[in-house]
Chains A and B, each alone.
Chain A
Amino acid sequence: MLEIITPLFLMLIVAGTFIGIMFGAIPGMTATMAVAVSLPLTFPLGLENGLALLLGLYVGGIAGGLVPAVLLGIPGTPSSLTTTFDGYPMSKKGEGEKALRIGIVASLVGGLFSLAVLYFFAPPLAGFAIKFSYVEKFLIIFFALTVLAALSSDMLLGIFSGVLGVFISLVGTYDISDGGNGKLRLVPPGTEYWLDSGFSLLPVLIGIFGLTAILAQAELGMPKELDAKDIHVGRRSTFSFSIFGGQITNLLRSSSIGTFVGMLPGVGGSAASLLSYSYAKTFSKTPEKFGKGEPAGVVASESGNNGLTGGALVPLLSLGIPGDSTTAILIGAFTLQGIQVGPLFITNNPVTWDAMIFAMLIANIAMFAMMYFAIRYFALLVTVPKHILFPLILMMCVIGSYTINYGIMFDVWTLLIFGLFGWLAVKLRLELAPFIIGFILGPSAEVYFVKSLESFGDYTIFFTKSWIAAALWVLIIGSLAMSIVLAIRAGKNGTQDG
């Protein structure tokens, strides 16, 4: 363990956290984008050092979103949406600095809570998952896709997006190393040379999370940044830790909700903070104050969305299934170093596992130290000109895509294809998180499904293989039932609202 804690390792965590906060604090840029465009940097750094940088970016990026949410009423990242509900009214009352500090402390608690859950929960879950055969592994992926569908804003479009991701991931050769027959499929005539191995994961991710976001901003005409003199942090009300005296239950409940939501595949931080916020409001003695500058609202939102960070790593490191879009990109870092994440990851890579836990811990502490003591300076980040940042990010996207497979220009075109696809998908109301999770899990789903049938020769094996398979079907049916109930409720609410 001690051998990995080098000055470079620590510096990368701190630098990653700092850059992550910058990405989170600038509206239009997200933690996911930060991790996506920084992936190529991890290649020469090695796995542990690379992960130190990426985990710092992840923690910093999620926490940084609270800065514009409080000061401008614009969520820096989607997961900070509910922070605007009470943070911005507090800012308008001259309590901006107080709201920011409340959010920073809540972010730290949420982050550390979820880290503890990751540390204690992922190894036993992985130990249990080692017993899984191809049948159970396929059902786990199927379960992940049904959960994605259940929690999508539109169930049908959510399922379609996930299945589309699986379909596109199958383009190319049915790999011999996976037990396939080495033949091409779904490749249009004339493109065999480029699509022999299908679309590379990382250019797809960089395109969807880097280029798509910039195209969306270009479409809006690159909204102008504020001038520094327009940022009012406010000094009227000072922050004190006594504010948290009556918020312990809220903090723990919201952190737990965030962590749990993080464990569900593909469900982002916005769901975590929305659920935490709505529970805080429901259980509050003064729910009427929510939305008008209630500190409990900021506590719930920020502890909820930072609770996601550790939670999302639980299914990734124990089952190989990413918990959200940012952890989906982390798979890229493992792929770059030739390491497969799954049930055997923690057992086979104890040093990397310890490094990740340590990096998350330091990243949370660094995030707190930087933001708590220098929040006035971070507040100025919302004024950073995008006309300088975005071209540089586009350039980094190109480097990332080109270097991922040691210099293949088609990967750069893949970045453009999927950047445009991402923009179009948003317009068509398709969901990008299920698409990406489907794209990542598709090849494994194929191997597990086909090999199960080749071995047993009967579809019923998916129901009868073991008690684990039966239990997974209960969960699958439960998530499908939940998605139908949610869809009916949403329909009823829509009718009433209309």
Chain B
Amino acid sequence: MGAWTQVSIDFETSHLYFPTLIGALLVVLGLAILLRDRARIAGAGRYWRDVFAAMDKLRFFGTIVLTVLYFILMVPIGRIWPNTGMGFLLCSGPYVLLTGLLFMHERPWRQVAALTAIAIAGPAFVWWLFTGPFFLTLP
């Protein structure tokens, strides 16, 4: 065709070649979306206000907070008894119980008792299955 179609890729910088092309394509597509949907993007503030107004904030953010705490606590607790998966076992029970309580609408004692039993038995069974027969590492 011509010199403009020819390309020489330097091996030392070859790791940047494709990401640069894809990044440029993303920017072009982003600009096209910005141009096409400018009215909708300008009204994004109202859209997000509506999203947050309709949201069950307690359950949504509660799930995120409990999950973050679960992840944060699992490793330091696991370090107290290394290579036993105890971090997973000791954190999963309270996590299943608290998340379950958060998701419940009413909390009659029978349902809470059933949830508590599952929060103890479920993680214990999974912990046994993975650290025992499956021989896999848990935190």
Chain A positions within 8 Å of B, measured between CB atoms, are 40, 43-44, 156-157, 159-160, 163-164, 166-167, 170, 173-174, 180-186, 211, 214-215, 218-222, 224, 385-388, 390-392, 394-396, 398-399, 402-403, 406-407, 409, 412-413, 416, 420, 427, 442, 445-446, 449-450, 453-454, 457-460
Q: Are A394 and B99 in contact (CB under 8 A)?
A: yes
Which residues of A have CB within 8 Å of B55? 219
Q: Are A395 and B122 in contact (CB under 8 A)?
A: yes
A219 to B48, CA, bound (A): 13
A220 to B55, CA, bound (A): 6
Q: Which residue of A lies closest to B71 (CB)?
A: A412
B19-63 residues at the A interface, CB under 8 angstroms: 19, 22-23, 25-26, 29-30, 32-33, 36, 51, 55-56, 59-60, 62-63
Q: Which single member of A214, A386, A407 contacts B139 (CB below 8 Å)? A: A407
Q: Sort A-B residue pairs by CB-CB distance and give the 10 closest, nearest first.
A: A221-B56, A174-B15, A387-B103, A407-B137, A391-B99, A391-B96, A446-B18, A44-B134, A218-B59, A183-B15
Q: Which residue of B lies closest to A419 (CB)?
A: B67
Which residues of B have CB within 8 Å of A416? 67-68, 71
Which residues of B have CB within 8 Å of A43? 134, 136
Contacts known (A156-B33, A160-B33); A391 close to B95, Cβ less than 8 A: yes
25 contacts between A and B (CB under 8 A): A44-B134, A160-B26, A163-B22, A164-B26, A182-B15, A218-B62, A219-B55, A222-B56, A387-B101, A388-B115, A390-B100, A392-B96, A394-B95, A394-B99, A396-B126, A398-B70, A403-B138, A407-B137, A412-B139, A420-B64, A446-B18, A450-B17, A450-B18, A457-B7, A458-B5
A204 to B95, CA, bound (A): 22
Q: Which residue of B lies closest to A184 (CB)?
A: B15
Which residues of B have CB within 8 Å of A459? 5-7
A160 to B32, CA, bound (A): 10
Q: Are B67 and A44 in contact (CB under 8 A)?
A: no
Question: Do most interface residues of chain B lie in helix, strand or loop, or is the interface mixed?
Answer: helix
A395 to B74, CA, bound (A): 12
Q: Are B137 and A406 in contact (CB under 8 A)?
A: yes
Which residues of B have CB within 8 Å of A185? 15-16, 19
Instruction: State whether the Cβ of B114 lies closer than 8 Å to any Cβ in chain A.
Output: yes
Q: Which residue of A lies closest to B83 (CB)?
A: A407
Question: Do most interface residues of chain A lie in helix, strand or loop, or is the interface mixed?
Answer: helix
Which residues of A have CB within 8 Å of B33? 156-157, 160
Which residues of B have CB within 8 Å of A449? 18
Contacts known (A164-B26, A450-B9); A44 close to B136, Cβ less than 8 A: yes
Which residues of A have CB within 8 Å of B71? 398, 409, 412-413, 416
Which residues of B have CB within 8 Å of A409? 71, 74-75, 139
Q: Are B14 and A391 in contact (CB under 8 A)?
A: no
Q: Are B139 and A222 in contact (CB under 8 A)?
A: no
Q: Which residue of B lies closest to A407 (CB)?
A: B137
Q: Which residue of B lies closest to A182 (CB)?
A: B15
Can you name 19 extra interface pairs (CB under 8 A) apart from A218-B56, A399-B138, A460-B1?
A43-B136, A160-B26, A160-B30, A163-B25, A174-B14, A185-B15, A218-B62, A218-B103, A219-B55, A222-B103, A387-B115, A388-B115, A390-B100, A394-B99, A398-B70, A399-B126, A402-B138, A413-B71, A454-B11
Which residues of A have CB within 8 Å of B11? 181, 454
